[in-house]
Structure formats: structure tokens, C-alpha cells
Amino acid sequence: MSSGVIAGLFPGQGSHTGDLGERTRRAVPELVERCLELVGEDPFARVAESTRFAQPAIFCASVAGWTRRPADLRPLALAGHSLGELSALVAAEALDPLAGLTLAVRRGELMAATGEGEEGMLAVLGAEPELVSELAAAHGVVLANDNAPGQAVLAGRLDRLRKASGAARERGLRAILLDVAGAFHSPAMAPAVAPFRAALDRVEIGPGTMPVISGASARPFTDVRAELAEAIVRPVRWRATMHALGELGADTFVDFGPGSVLARLVRRNLPGAEVLGPDGPDAAEEAGDPAGPAPVPRPTRTAGIVGLGSALPEQRVSSARIAARLGVDAAWIERRTGIGERRHAAPGERVSGLAASAARMALADAGMDASQIDLVLVATLAADEITPSAAPLVAHELGMTGAAALDVGAACAGSLAALAHASSWIESGRGRNVLVIGAEILTRFLDLDDRRTAPLFGDGAGALVVSLDADGVIGPIVLGSDGGAAQAIRVTRAAGVLEMEGHETFLMAVQRLSESTAEVLELAGLTLADIDLFVYHQANSRILAAVAERLGLAPGRVFDCIARFGNTSAASVPLALGEAVRVGALAPGARVLVGAVGAGLVWGAGVLTWGEA
């Protein structure tokens, strides 16, 4: 373990990863068993659905991370972000793990119930604290999180947050309305304070073996019960908390997970600090070296992503519903795929319509008008007609006249291939702004009685605006193909349904994703340690886990959101990037490696530096 002065960090909501349940069950089986009893169902399977499930699941995972620490890891002090304060107190031995779990369950229940209304939270990126305070005051909302320089979260009524979002964009800031059901850490949570204090009064809380810094005061806890209860309505002062740990002498920070959200915030708050994971010296690689090797020379003109958008059909189809038709158990589907639900398009819904909806959102996110786009690329294998292609129809629906528009047919790797074309178009001087869209309605090609394919695929669209005027940079992208493997995944004109050899596809996907990752890193002059987040095509969770294991990556570094969307083919990578930003897994300045593999066989990988906008 590091010879530095160590502080331990425990994350809050939004830090969950795809393998949350599996890893936690292995480390603390008794705690997980008690969690299932208290919640009444498996919170790990529904962690993305509600605060009620997320808080106990993340608490258990953080305690699991603490139990895995090396014997010689002895922190000077601990801190937790919001919910993470409970796991920090458990680590300090001020709170029994089962008592802490009881509090996490109760806290999640209360905040979920209090949050059922027209309230929410808005992330504002790139602003100084004074400007964030000005936005909050002008629109009748409050500061809920001050996480790091240029990273703050507002809370309040949704109508006011939308106006604040518009005002932020007018000032050149990035604003993201978070997918949470409440104005957490604001006065709106006041009804939860008294019942949570009552729950705190029923458990024993001791002095602990090391100090725990309160995220609300940025000072060591004194009256733990009162401060934990009041923290529900007080802003999280994470920036000040990090500096308080630094002032105590900490220069090495261990993020006990899940995920690596706090590891990235360390680098933004204390750039010179060392960042580790919970598994000892080798985990230094997991948080990434903030400096890293020098990048390879870039083109004179570079392109970056400046806008994100998504569109999903309204119909949610649970794994239980598919399981009932197939005559299998829903748990069998979720265990083999990681998918809890996927979206199915309604009869008459069109790929071009989904693509246009995602594009409008991405353009709004970029602060652009459709007239500024030079090229529209739609990656799809499910265009509404054999001809015309989807792209001209999307351009027309967006009110564009004269822009180049064409489809990219590379199946699940389509969006990555389109991104390569888009960046090359801009680097060569042929244009300034390109719209990249991945859109699929794969359910029109599914045999809903086929166990190999029916549970896997979903419908949706994701869009990216790629621009010359970007803070981030699209680095090298490698692409490859092997037509000799075409039989593994195909839709023939004769059959009209998707056919897939599951085991063969699995093996090839793991091999090609791993190989293309190594290839693009070598081309970029980087190592695995230099990448903050790996965002692969969301084919199924077992493939993602196998790639992580093959590359020696901690699962928290490989983003997994397949539980909510299923395999959306060409839409997968842009949807996953948008989801990573939404949950705080992808922050400005981060290096992200994207990769995909699809029918053909085609594959690829690319390195991006994420920008402020």
C-alpha cells in the first residue's frame, strides 16, 4: 500500500456499477442477506430505478469495498458523499454494519417517498461558485452539491430547473437534468428529517476509531445523529470536505467504491494527490494517472463531442414479461444478460423518428441549430425502408436543406464507425459540425420465441454532435472486420429475423474488444492506467465482465447500463455515453475509451478526451 497519508472515501447515490450485486454478495453475504430481508426484494437488480433500492445496495457495496482492503491500509480519516457517510461511520467502527444497513434502508425509503413530486436536480458544469449561486438565486432553486471546481448540482422544482438550465446554456455552460425523483439535499426533503432522526435514535453510535468528516460541514462529526439527520436538507460540500482532508495531511485517497466517481473528484479538487482503489497497490492503476504519458501528436484541426441526446420508445418490456413468454425464469435472463428491461417500439414507430428526436436533444445540448450541421450520419441496420436511407429522412425532419446525409451500416459498431467518419470529415476541413446518430428498432427483426435473441435486444436512439469548436478531442479510432465470421449474427432476406450463435458471438466479442482496446491505446501512446472510463457496446453484462477480467480492469472502470436499455445495437455507444454523463461517471477532462463489436464481423475502439460541453 502507499506510503502516503491515507484518507478513505465512500460514495453516494449514482456510483453503482453493473456487477454491484455479484461483487457485494461475495464479500459480505450476511449483510446482503439482511438487506434483502429489509428491502423485501433484491435492490441490486433494481438499483437504477429508485433511491429506495439504490441506497441500501450502494451502502452494502461500499462496506464490501472496505472489507476487501489490505491489512496494512490504515487511513488517517474518512469521509462519505451523502449516503456514503453511513458506510464511512461503519468503517470507523462508530456504527455497526447491520445498524448502518437499517439506516440506509430507512433513508432510501424516506427520500424516495419525499421525492415523489415535480422536483429534481440539475448538474451545472464549467461554472465558478459565484455564477452557480447567481443561477440558483435567480431561479428560486438551491445549491445541493458543490463537488469540485466546475461541478455543482442545483435542486428544486423542475420548471425552475429547466429555466436555470436554459440560462446556464446561454452563458456557455453545460447543464444536465439528472434522472432523480426529488430535490435531494434541499429544503424539499424536510419531511424526511424527523423520521430519519427517529431511526438514528434507535441505533447505537459510538466514538469510532478515526475521525469521519461530515460532507455538510466539512468538519469532523461531533453530534452524529443530529448532523446525519440535517444532512438530508443541507448541501453536500464535497469540495470543502476534500480540502479539509488535505489540511489534515492526507495526500493519498482510497475510493472504496462502487465505481470510481470520488476518485475522479479527487483529481479535480486536489490535482497532486495520489488516488487508489480498495484492493491495494495494483489499484493505483484503476484510478488512472492524472498526468500519464505524453499524447501522440494531434491533427492541426481536431474534433470533439459537444452535445448528447437520446430517444427511447415509451413501452418498457421487463425481463419477467419476456420470461413468461419463453417459459423461463426472469432471474435466468437477468443472470445471463444483466438486462432488467428494454424498450420496444410501438407499431408504426419509425427509426427516422427516434433518430430525429435524439438529434433534437443533442442539438439543444450543444446549443446549436440544425442549420449549422454540415453532415448527418445515421448508423442503423434497421432503416424504415430499403431505400431511401434513414439519414436524408432525419435531415428533412430536422428542417435541414442541402446538408450531406448518409447511413453507416456496421451493425453494433455503427456509431463508432460513424464517429470515425465524423472526426475525419472535420479534421480534413470538409466541415465544422457533424451529427452522428445511432438508431435501431430491432424488435421488428426478432423472433420473440427465440431464447437466444428475444431477451437481448431493445429499441432506441442516441445522438452526438461532433464539432470543430470543442473542448474535448476525439483521438485515434481503429476499425476492423472479418467477413469469415458472418454466420455468427445475421438477418437474411429469406428469414427476416435475427439469428445468432450465442457462444461463438460471446467469444469473438470478448477477443475483438480486448484486442482493439490494446491496439488503439498503443496508437494513442497511452496505457490502461491512463483511461478514466471504458464505455463498450452494451451487448450483455457477461461480455463486459469478461473483457474487464481479460484486460485486468476493475469492473467499476467498465461502464454498464445494459440493465435499463438492453442491446440497442448502433444506438448503444451514444446511449451509454449519455448515461455515463447523467450518472456522473464521465466528467469533463476525463479520458474515455469506447469500443464496439457487431455483426459482419466488425469491430473497433477509440480514445476520447471529454470536454466541458
For residues 332-355, average pLDDT: 94
Tell me, what amino acid is at 82?
S
* Nearest-angstrom CA–CA distance, 329 and 331: 5
* Nearest-angstrom CA–CA distance, 412 and 345: 18
- The one catalytic residue in 35, 269, 537, 561 is 537
3-state class (DSSP) for residue 366: helix
pLDDT band, very low/low/confident/very high, at 562 (cuts 50, 70, 90): very high
Query: Is-catalytic flag, 185?
Result: no
* Angle between helices 97-114 and 51-67 in degrees, nearest 10: 160
> What percentage of the chain exceeds 90 in pLDDT?
66
CA 404 to chain centre: 32
HSE-CB for 42 with a 13 A CA cutoff: 13
Residue 327 burial (CB < 10 Å; 0-12/13-18/19+)? exposed
pLDDT band, very low/low/confident/very high, at 284 (cuts 50, 70, 90): very low
Let me know: does 462 contact 575? Beta carbons within 8 Å.
Answer: yes
* Nearest-angstrom CA–CA distance, 609 and 613: 12
For residues 96-101, average pLDDT: 95
How confident is the model at residue 278, as a pLDDT?
A: 62
* Nearest-angstrom CA–CA distance, 501 and 489: 7
- The one catalytic residue in 35, 60, 412, 561 is 412
Tell me, what amino acid is at 481?
S
Question: Taking the CB of residue 502, how many other CB atoms lie within 10 A of it?
Answer: 15
For residues 570-596, average pLDDT: 93
Q: What are phi and psi of 489, to 5 degrees?
A: -140, 125
Let me know: does 45 contact 77? Beta carbons within 8 Å.
Answer: no
* CA distances for 594 relative to 16, 25, 284, angstroms: 20, 29, 22
Phi-psi region of 39 (alpha: psi -120 to 50; beta: other; left: phi over 0): alpha
Q: In this predicted structure, which of 353-357, 428-432, 439-443, 530-534 has the lowest mean pLDDT?
A: 428-432
* Nearest-angstrom CA–CA distance, 426 and 465: 12
3-state class (DSSP) for residue 505: helix
How confident is the model at residue 470, as a pLDDT?
A: 84
Let me know: does 358 contact 463? Beta carbons within 8 Å.
Answer: yes
Bridge partners (DSSP) of residue 252 are 6, 274
How confident is the model at residue 295, as a pLDDT?
A: 33
* Angle between helices 224-231 and 193-201 in degrees, nearest 10: 150
HSE-CB for 510 with a 13 A CA cutoff: 17
Query: What does the mean pLDDT of the chain come to?
Result: 89
For residues 301-328, average pLDDT: 93
Residue 144 burial (CB < 10 Å; 0-12/13-18/19+)? buried
Q: Is the pLDDT of residue 294 over 50?
A: no
How confident is the model at residue 117, as a pLDDT?
A: 66
How confident is the model at residue 524, as a pLDDT?
A: 86
Bridge partners (DSSP) of residue 274 are 252
Query: Is-catalytic flag, 567?
Result: yes
What's the predicted TM-score (pTM) here? 0.55
pLDDT band, very low/low/confident/very high, at 125 (cuts 50, 70, 90): confident
* Nearest-angstrom CA–CA distance, 349 and 341: 19
118 DSSP assignment: S
* Nearest-angstrom CA–CA distance, 419 and 536: 14
In sequence order, the 6+-apart residues with CB closer than 8 A to the CB of 494 are none
Query: Is-catalytic flag, 412?
Result: yes
* Nearest-angstrom CA–CA distance, 434 and 352: 17
Domains along the chain with CATH numbers: 6-114+187-287 (3.40.366.10), 119-177 (3.30.70.250), 304-609 (3.40.47.10)
Residue range 126-149, pLDDT digits in tens: 888 889 999 999 999 999 999 998
HSE-CB for 48 with a 13 A CA cutoff: 22
For residues 594-605, average pLDDT: 95
For residues 516-543, average pLDDT: 92
| Residue recorded with cell 440497442 | 568
| Residue recorded with cell 461463438 | 504
* CA distances for 459 relative to 64, 228, 536, 598, angstroms: 35, 42, 18, 16
Buried b / exposed e across 46-73, counting CB within 10 Å, b at 16+?
Answer: bbbbbbbbbbbbbbbbbbbbbbbbeeeb
Residue range 367-408, pLDDT digits in tens: 999 999 999 999 999 999 999 999 999 999 999 988 899 999
Bridge partners (DSSP) of residue 491 are 498
Residue of 376, 377, 475, 368 whose CA lies nearest to 427: 475
Q: Is the pLDDT of residue 2 over 70?
A: no
* Nearest-angstrom CA–CA distance, 489 and 86: 47
* Nearest-angstrom CA–CA distance, 98 and 425: 57
Residue of 46, 32, 49 whose CA lies nearest to 101: 32
- The one catalytic residue in 145, 269, 433, 567 is 567
Grid cell at residue 250:
492526507
Give 3-state DSSP helix, strand, coil % of the chain, rounded to 5: 45, 20, 35
188 DSSP assignment: G
Grid cell at residue 126:
464549467
Let me know: does 281 contact 96? Beta carbons within 8 Å.
Answer: no
SS (HEC) of 429-498: CCCCEEEEEEEECHHHHCCCCCCCCCCCECCEEEEEEEECCCCCEEEEEEEEECHHHHHHEEECCCCCCE
pLDDT band, very low/low/confident/very high, at 234 (cuts 50, 70, 90): very high
Strand runs labelled E in 37-116: 77-80
